Each structure stands twice: as C-alpha cells, then as structure tokens.
A and B are shown apart, each in its own frame.
Chain A
Amino acid sequence: MIEGKVWKYGDDVNTDVIFPGKYTYKPMTPAEMAQHALEDLDPTFAKEVKRGDIIVAGANFGCGSSREQAATCVKASGVAAVVAVSFSRLFFRNAINEGLPVVELAYGTDAIKKGDTIGIDFEKGVVIHAGKEYHFPALPKEVLAILNDGGLIPHVKKLLAQAKG
C-alpha cells in the first residue's frame, strides 16, 4: 500500500514532452534525467515533485518514442507510481523494466485532481480516492516478476544466475 500526492495530466502525454529528444543521446545519470522530467509538459514538475508523489493521467500515457528515459526520469524524480486510463505499450514495458509501477485504471481518472492524495493497494488491486475504491486488474505473473525484482536488468541477472546454478 502506498499513498501519495497527485500530479494530474490529460490524455496522450507523449515521450517528447516527458523527456525531450534533444537529451535522448546524451549520456546522463538517472538523477540528471530527473531534472528534465516532464520538461515540455509542466516546467514546475521537476522543481516541486516530492518522493512518493503519484502521476495520474488520462488515456495513452507515454505515447510516441521507445525512449526508456521517459520512464527512467519519472522514476528517478521520486514518483512512486503512474496511474492512467491507458498506457502506450512502449511506456508500459519501459516502466516495468525500470521498476516503476504502472496502474491501468479503466474506470477513468477524471475525478482525481492535482494535489489530491490517493492510495494504491497493489495486493488488493485497488486505487483509493476520496474514500472510494477503484479496482484495477493484476499484472500478468510474467510481468509482475520483473517489477518485483526491481526491473528487467536485475530480473535477467537473477535468471542468468539461476541458470548457471
């Protein structure tokens, strides 16, 4: 169970506004990437985001490029999870692979406003907002295993070590 303050955005938040292309081929640490998180969407985000905050958005979050930094910069900014009506498949995979929890809330996210506090219970599969519970489907076990290992690289490392056994 986590609880955090909401940063609220709309539909079709694309990877160019999350992490601009001009930085994509510059070597950067995750902490440096975090300084540019959501730069062309909300310039206040990177300055004011607090560890444990939660991004809530509409449909098709993270559409566009395959750039993994879009997930890395959000995770490194301290965000605990991203809740959206739907995700682009590339952002969804990249988030899991970076160990950033993503919650697909098909009910819609219109009622959740910037600055609200929401809870997410991953075990029960519910988002809690204003006293109400909204269910979301559990991740497939193959995908959950990656998230639980902290991302794809630690996950694959573990599998390779087990294979060597």
Chain B
Amino acid sequence: MGLTFAQKVLAKKAGLATVAVGQIVDVEPDFCLSHDNTAAISKTFAKLGVERVKNPDRFVIVLDHTVPASTEEYALGHKEIREFVAKQGIKAFYDAGVGICHQVLPEMGFALPGSLILGSDSHTTAYGAFGAFSAGVGRSEMAALYATSRIWLKTPATFRIDVTGKLKEPVTSKDLVLKIIGDIGADGALYRSVEYMGEGIEAMSLSSRLVLTNMAVEMGAKNGYCAPDKKTFAFLNGRAVAEYTPIYPDPDAVYERVLTYDASALGPQVAKPHTVDNVVPVEDVAGTRIDQALLGTCTNGRLEDLKLAARFLEGKKLAKGVRMLVLPASQEVLLEALDQGLIQIFVKAGAMVLNPGCGPCLGAHEGVLAAGEVCLSTANRNFKGRMGSAEASTYLASPATVAASAVTGVITDPRQAYAGGGA
C-alpha cells in the first residue's frame, strides 16, 4: 500500500521505514522560522535555563510583522531580537525591510523540497509549494525548539485535490483556493495534509502555487503540498542553502478524500466578511462600495501579483474616496517591480507604496480600518476586527479583482476590463 507525501516525509525525518496515519513521531526540523514574535519567544527560552540555542544554523528570523516599528514597544522588541540573534550566533537573520518571511525563506533558498520546516506563524504552510512539509507551531514550541531542536508531530491523513484544466486570465490561484475553501469550509481539511495535483497545478508558476499552500491553513489543513518540478529546481538553482532530495507521494497512496476542480471553468471569487469560507462568485458582491484596497501580503504580494494589478491601474486613477496600499512582499520583488515600471503605475494612479512587510493584514501596525469602513484585500484572512475596528469589514479577492475595484470604487468583476486590454 502506497504512502502519501506526509507519511513519507515524516517517516524519513523520524528515521522509520514507514508511519501510519495518526502515528506520533519525534522529529528534528531542517529549519525553523520565527518573526517579530522572537522577542517573546527569546524570553520564554530564557525560562528554560538553557544558555545557548542548540543548532543556531537551523533557525531563520525575519522581522516583518510590525516594520518599521510604529511604537516604542515594537522598537524595543526588534532591538531585543537583534541582540538575541547576535548573542546566539543566528546567521539567517533578515532585519526590517528585507521582506515578509514567507517570501524571504523561498528567496534565500530555505524552502527546499523534502525538507521539514516549522514556523511560529500559521502561514508557514506556504513552503509546501516547493515540496517541503511545513506547518505552524506556537511560541512555546519554538522556544523548546531553540533548546532541543526536537518536536512531536502527529501524522495527518491526506486529501488530494486534483486540478484539471488551466486558469483563464485574469482568474488566478487565489480564486481557486477561495473556491475550494468556500466549498469545504474553514474546517473542511481540519488536521489534514492537502496535496494539490494535476495539470492545473503543473501549469502554475511557483508564486501561484504559494497562494494555494499559504491558504491551506484557512481550510484547517496542517500542511499543503505541490510536487516539485523543473520550475522548482530552476528557482532554487543558485539559491538553495543545502542539498535536497524531493519527496513525492506514491502513485497508490491512500487518500481520505479526493476532490476535483476544473480550473478552466472557474471565475473570480470573493470571500465576504467575516470568515474565509464565506465565498461567492464576484458577480454576487459586485457594486459593493470599498474604502481601501490592499495589494500585498504573504498571499499575493509577489511580482506576478503586482504585474497583474498594474494592468488594471496603468493610466488610471483610483476612484474618488478609495485609498490603495501596495506592499511588495520583499525587497527583491520591489526591485523587480521598479525595473518593470510597476511602482510608477501604482503611484501615478494614486496608490501608497509601502515598504515590504505584513502591513495592515493583521491590524497590528499601519493602514488599519475605522468602524464602518470596507477593505478589499489580497490577504488571506477577513476575521472580524482583524484589520482594526471590529465594526469594519474585509473582503478577500485576487490582485486582479482588487485592482479593478480600486479604479471603480466598488467590487468589480475584473474580466471585462482585462478583456479590453487591461486598462
């Protein structure tokens, strides 16, 4: 009987020939990620009475959630983190401005096929786009990992999602993942491993695949996975920090559930307030007034996202009363966007271009919403109160829908403007 990706990778990491679904294994992750929460984690680590981080080369720390610091408290936290990494000899430290952790780890070559990556951030699931097994953990667990480098994990059952056909521009992988989450619900894949397979996935860029694995956690999944291929290996060439061995599920692996989606038949989707599974076709909410458009985050702040959005904004102005925030996911993305003239398009349209970082996605920092305001965002969560006031509303959509709507001032189906040449 064949094994799923999750079984194979966890068996390998545990040094076992095979593992059963539900089996608890004791493993040593290849890499562990933490971000601004490292300040709190370092204090918990101190409580363990351990002087030194056991394997400093296995830890990657990225400041992205509240950068640059908007309060003295945040600034102090960042300072404590800089002191901690210097003291502990953690070399993979990316200070404020380098980018969002889930973009920086792939760029810096840590998201390796067949690797095990844990992070004190729920969207750590993203690295499955490169064929890694990656999942979120809590702060105490990260502190314990500093001390011991080991953790227990339970082997999840697996759902396979077969994607046939290819997405039709300007429909994106964001629309696909919103559709799946809407169908199966916020707990539809609770505690499962999700393997995205099929020609629709093979046809996608790595950036598009990252959206699927990033948002796997929004259907309750433990991890998401895409089979690494030529695109993956080409991206990692010159970036990979270590040698790697890809792991693929066996052809006769046993899946708890198999779902099939035809990407070619899919239209733009929108998640309405206040849950990610409250998904409707864009037509159902077209005409809804917006106050703020957000383009960026670990979900949709990559070059292809900015390029797609720019097609709707070139030569146009934001609708009266609409403000737009653009946050490239990293300095690398920002530089490429500058080279391609995308930033000029955003600024000329009247958008605010902010530094790479998480920005207003989690309401801890800049660009938050007042009571009664509506934001249309490319982010991955729209929970009540997340982006500021509990009386504000957030809708989630693709970069195309967000950009098309920023021009009209209301939620807009991006297909019409796109067919007309994009602008």
Contact = CB atoms under 8 A, between A and B. Distances in A.
B144 A153 contact: yes
A59 interface: yes
Interface stretch (B229-237, B306-314, B348-356, B383-391): B383-391
Contact of A64 (B66, B143, B381): B381
B260 interface: no
Interface residues of B, number: 52
Nearest to B22: A140
Given A40-B390, A66-B136, A88 B220 contact: yes
Interface in B203-240: 220, 222
A97 interface: yes
A64 B385 CA distance: 13
A27 B140 contact: no
A107 B390 CA distance: 32
Contacts of A98: 140
A65 interface: yes
Interface in A8-55: 11-12, 14, 16-17, 20-22, 24-27, 39-40
Contact of B386 (A21, A60, A71, A156): A21
Interface stretch (B107-115, B183-191, B265-273, B400-408): B183-191
A77 interface: no
Contacts of B77: 25, 27
B90 interface: no
B24 A140 contact: yes
Query: Which range holds the interface residue count of chain A?
Result: 35 or more
B147 interface: yes
Given A142-B24, A160-B49, A89 B191 contact: yes
B66 A25 contact: yes
A115 to B, nearest CB: 24
Contact of B138 (A21, A25, A93): A93
A27 B73 contact: yes
Contacts of B383: 14, 16-17, 64
A40 B384 contact: yes
A157 interface: yes
A68 interface: yes
Nearest to A97: B140
Interface centre among B48, B140, B148, B190 (most CB of A within 10 A): B140
B363 A20 contact: yes
B254 interface: no
A86 B122 CA distance: 18
A72 B190 CA distance: 22
Contact of A68 (B66, B138, B364, B390): B138
A66 B364 contact: no
B137 interface: yes
A73 interface: no
A90 interface: yes
Given A64-B122, A66-B122, A25 B190 contact: no
B120 A66 contact: yes
B180 interface: no
Nearest to A59: B187
A156 B144 contact: yes
Nearest to B362: A21
A31 to B, nearest CB: 16
A24 B187 contact: no
Interface stretch (B36-44, B164-172, B281-289): B36-44
Given A39-B385, A89-B222, 10 more contacts: A20-B363, A21-B364, A25-B36, A25-B66, A60-B190, A63-B220, A98-B140, A153-B44, A157-B49, A160-B48
19 contacts: A12-B275, A17-B384, A22-B368, A25-B36, A27-B73, A60-B190, A64-B122, A66-B120, A66-B136, A66-B137, A86-B187, A88-B190, A89-B190, A93-B141, A98-B140, A152-B141, A153-B143, A156-B144, A159-B148
